Amino acid sequence: MAEAKTKQKKTPQILRGMKDILPEDERYWSYISKKVADMAHTYGYGRIETPHLEPTSLFVRSIGKDTDVVEKEMYTFDDRGGESISLRPEGTASIVRAYIEHGMLNRPQPVKVYYFGPFFRYDRPQSGRYRQFNQFGFEVLGEAHPVIDAQLMMICYNFFQEIGLPISLQVNSIGSPDTREEYQKALVDYYKSRKNSLCEDCKKRMTKNPMRLLDCKEQDCQLLAQDAPQIIDFLDEESNQHFVQVLEHLDSLEIPYTLNSRLVRGLDYYSGTVFEFWPEPFTAPDTGEEEKKEEAENDKEDNDNAKPGSQSSLGGGGRYDYLVEMMGGPETPAIGFACGVERLIKEIKNRDIKVPKRHDPDIFVAQLGDQARKKCLKLFEEMRRQGFNVAESFSKDGLKSQMEQANKRRVKFTVIIGQKEIMDGTILIRDMENGIQETVDFNKLLPEMKKRLEKYGVKEINGKNNNHNQEN
Ligand code: AMP
């Protein structure tokens, strides 16, 4: 009995494949989401957000029932009303649903949208692969011109370039559905006599989804894929013409790319141009303890699936010219791209790419005694309302610990109220650079601070610069 009483309760643990995003990573997330929004607005994309839950049939119809995503990776369950619903594993299917449902086909075409949010795949967790992960994506619906394909690739290329991430753009065309039918027959013919050398998954793919044979990561399968027929030789005239024009546009934009005849992407709805962005190979000198621990744990759990050196794409996309029609809408050519945010951040960190920090506060509000604390609490709110960038540590009593915080936050000034200042109706201003302290009338504090900060080039008071900064 006594033993049972002292037995420790097990603390709750995060689900496998899920990840908490902690405050220390905030700057990566805000940097990327701002960059995505800026890029999107420059090129005329409007934000769209669709629900995280959709009817299962939406994904089965669009992504395809024989794809890995639908067959093995979807979080699918019956809701309380008995309807089969799924957590969204990708973004395009929902956007096509929304495009049809909201009559966006009647708006001026093309309709350009972008999104940023979580997606869910019951994938085998390993480094850079989670069961809940975030993607941002761009979609252009209602335009078939090859210039759209090239411009979308350029937007993504510029995005990575501006971050400072070396990537390689892989491009291919998988043609029209007719092209693929013919090509798949040729593939199956090629693999028939080589079936014994294929992995178990690929043996199944031969009947279910032959094009996936080409991007299997198993070494033997990769070797066989090298000599397999190439889809480029099967393209119909229209697909070929389109692809040639896309490449011409990329050439004139001077965007380097690699023609990759084995790039097929995993989902049924793709047609014509497909592309991926791969990070250039990089060996991190030291990934840090936490990262190592995470990787070691994942490797331990997933020994069979950890393939060092296997290519992990940062993002990819392609045309889906038949999807709107397949989903019940009119003939509507379209193209899209999605990028994985966790993978992007991992690359940024591995390569030690600097991202801007959140703006440091300018002023720390310090207090000594209960009366002073009350007064400072109000003062802080007033300053924040007026647009000052302020920090505080109101739960602390001693001045020493508050000054430590002020130093840590690298403020330019600390304003201090103690017993004496309460009695006199004054406040102390300490210049943190030279340590000089000056007493001013409490009512004159705000204009005085404005004046002092202007000397530092802080011009946005009473304007936008009003971040609330708490102790950390
Ligand atoms: P996909 O549509 O599968 O090509 O995914 C687009 C991008 O999303 C990939 O290139 C990855 O960067 C990211 N991604 C896909 N699946 C996962 C996952 N399970 N965990 C983390 N990122 C993922």
pLDDT digits (tens, 9 = 90+) for 21-50: 999 999 999 999 999 999 999 999 999 999
By alpha-carbon position, which residue is closest to atom 8 of ligand 1?
340
Q: Specify whether the CB–CB gap between 428 and 439 falls below 8 A.
A: yes
Q: In terms of Cα–Cα distance, which of 468, 422, 432 is closest to 453? A: 432
- Residue 342 Cβ < 6 Å to ligand 1: yes
Quickly list H helices, 282-428.
Answer: 289-301, 323-326, 341-350, 370-385, 399-408, 419-424
Q: Which of 133, 265, 314, 341 has the most ligand 1 atoms within 8 A of CB, as the residue to mutate?
A: 133
Run of H or E including 63:
helix 56-63
CA of 88 to the centre of ligand 1 (A): 13
* Bond preceding residue 279 cis, omega within 30 of 0: no
CA–CA separation, 334 and 272 (whole Å) = 10
Q: With cut-offs at 50, 70 and 90, classify the pLDDT of residue 215.
A: confident
DSSP category for residue 129: B
Give me the residues paired with residue 427 across strands.
Answer: 440
CA–CA separation, 85 and 267 (whole Å) = 19
Q: Residue 356 has what pLDDT?
A: 85
Interval 120-141 mean pLDDT:
94
CA of 347 to the centre of ligand 1 (A): 14
283-337: pLDDT as tens digits: 655 444 545 455 444 444 433 333 333 358 999 999 999 999 999 999 999 999 9
Average pLDDT, the chain: 90
For the domain covering 23-175+235-350, report its CATH number. 3.30.930.10
Q: CATH 3.30.930.10: which residues of the chain?
A: 23-175+235-350
The answer to whether the Cα torsion of 86, 175, 309, 351 is positive or negative is negative
DSSP category for residue 445: H
The answer to whether the Cα torsion of 232, 235, 239, 245 is positive or negative is positive
Amino acid, single-letter form, for residue 173: S
240-296: pLDDT as tens digits: 999 999 999 999 999 999 999 989 887 889 999 999 999 998 765 544 454 545 544
CA–CA separation, 428 and 417 (whole Å) = 7
Q: With cut-offs at 50, 70 and 90, classify the pLDDT of residue 472.
A: very low
357-415: pLDDT as tens digits: 878 899 999 999 999 999 999 999 999 999 999 999 999 999 999 999 999 999 999 99
Q: Residue 461 has what pLDDT?
A: 67
Q: Indicate the fold that domain 363-455 takes in CATH.
A: Rossmann fold (3.40.50)
Q: In terms of Cα–Cα distance, which of 39, 76, 40, 81 is closest to 56? A: 76
Amino acid, single-letter form, for residue 51: P
- pLDDT of 52 strictly over 50: yes
State the closest ligand 1 atom to the C-alpha of 339, by its place in the atom list counted from 1. Answer: 7
Amino acid, single-letter form, for residue 20: D
- Residue 274 Cβ < 6 Å to ligand 1: no
Q: CATH 3.40.50.800: which residues of the chain?
A: 363-455
Q: Residue 270 has what pLDDT?
A: 93
Rg (alpha carbons) of the chain, rounded to whole number: 28
Q: Residue 6 has what pLDDT?
A: 56
